[in-house]
Chain A
Amino acid sequence: MQGLGAQGEVSRIGKVSEPSVGEFVELMKPRVMSLVVFTALTGMLAAPGSIHPVIGVIALLAIAMGAGASGALNMWYDADIDARMARTAARPIPRGRVTADEALTFGSILAVLSILTLGVLVNWTAGALLALTIGFYLFVYTMWLKRKTPQNIVIGGAAGAFPPMIGWAAVTGSVSIESVLMFLIIFMWTPPHFWALALYRCRDYERAGVPMLPVVAGAEETRRQIWLYSLILVPLAITPVLIGMAGIVYGVVSAVLGAVFLYLAWKVRRITEGREADQAARQLFVFSILYLFLLFAVLLVEHAAARWIA
Chain B
Amino acid sequence: MALVMSLNSDEERERLKRQRMRSLVIALALGVMAVLFYLATIVHLGGDVGNRPL
B27 within 8 Å of A by Cβ?
Answer: no
Query: Closest Cβ of chain A: how far from B33's Cβ, in Å?
Result: 8
Give the residues in chain B near A20, CB-CB below 8 Å: 18, 21-22
| Contact, CB under 8 Å: A52 / B43 | yes
**DSSP majority for the B interface?**
helix
Chain A residues with a Cβ closer than 8 Å to the other chain, count: 14
Interface residues of A in 17-61 (CB under 8 A from B): 17-21, 24, 52, 54-55, 58, 61
Contact of A121 among B22, B25, B40 (CB under 8 A): B40
Query: Closest Cβ of chain B: how far from A277's Cβ, in Å?
Result: 45
Give the residues in chain B near A19, CB-CB below 8 Å: 18, 22
Give the residues in chain A near B22, CB-CB below 8 Å: 19-21, 24
Contact of B36 among A18, A24, A52, A121 (CB under 8 A): A121
Contact surface of B with A, Cβ cutoff 8 Å = 11, 14-15, 18-19, 21-22, 25, 33, 36-37, 39-40, 43-44
Would you list 28 pairs from A and B whose C-beta atoms are within 8 A, ordered by A residue?
A: A17-B11, A17-B15, A18-B14, A18-B15, A18-B19, A19-B18, A19-B22, A20-B18, A20-B21, A20-B22, A21-B18, A21-B21, A21-B25, A24-B22, A52-B43, A54-B39, A54-B40, A55-B40, A55-B43, A58-B36, A58-B39, A58-B40, A61-B36, A113-B33, A117-B33, A117-B36, A121-B36, A121-B37
